[in-house]
C-alpha cells in the first residue's frame, strides 16, 4: 500500500504528486485493472500471444530503424 507522510508546511499539491508517483511505481492501478475483469484461460492465452507478437513487431521495427 502506497502512503506519503506530509511534512509540516508542505503544500498538498506536492504531496499529491509524490503519492501519484509512488502509486505508479508500485503498479497498483495496473494490478487493480488486471483483476477487475475475469478472462477465460483460453482468452488469456490468446491475449498473451497477441502481446508477444506486438512486442516482436516493435522490436523488429526498432532494429530495422537502427540499421540505417
> How many domains does the chain fold into?
2
Give residue-wise pLDDT tens across range 45-66.
999 999 999 999 999 998 888 7
The answer to whether residue 68 scores a pLDDT higher than 70 is no
The answer on 46 and 62 residing in a single domain is yes
Residue 33 CA to residue 48 CA, distance in Å, equals 16
* Structural domain harbouring 22: 1-37
Give residue-wise pLDDT tens across range 5-49.
999 999 999 999 999 999 998 888 888 888 898 999 999 999 999
Residue 5 has a pLDDT of 92
Residue 67 has a pLDDT of 74
Amino acid at each position: 500500500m502506497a502512503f506519503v507522510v506530509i511534512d509540516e508546511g508542505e503544500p498538498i499539491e506536492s504531496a499529491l504528486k509524490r503519492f501519484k508517483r509512488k502509486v505508479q511505481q508500485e503498479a497498483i492501478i495496473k494490478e487493480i485493472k488486471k483483476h477487475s475483469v475475469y478472462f477465460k484461460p483460453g482468452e488469456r492465452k490468446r491475449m498473451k500471444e497477441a502481446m508477444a507478437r506486438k512486442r516482436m513487431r516493435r522490436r523488429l521495427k526498432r532494429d530495422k530503424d537502427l540499421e540505417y
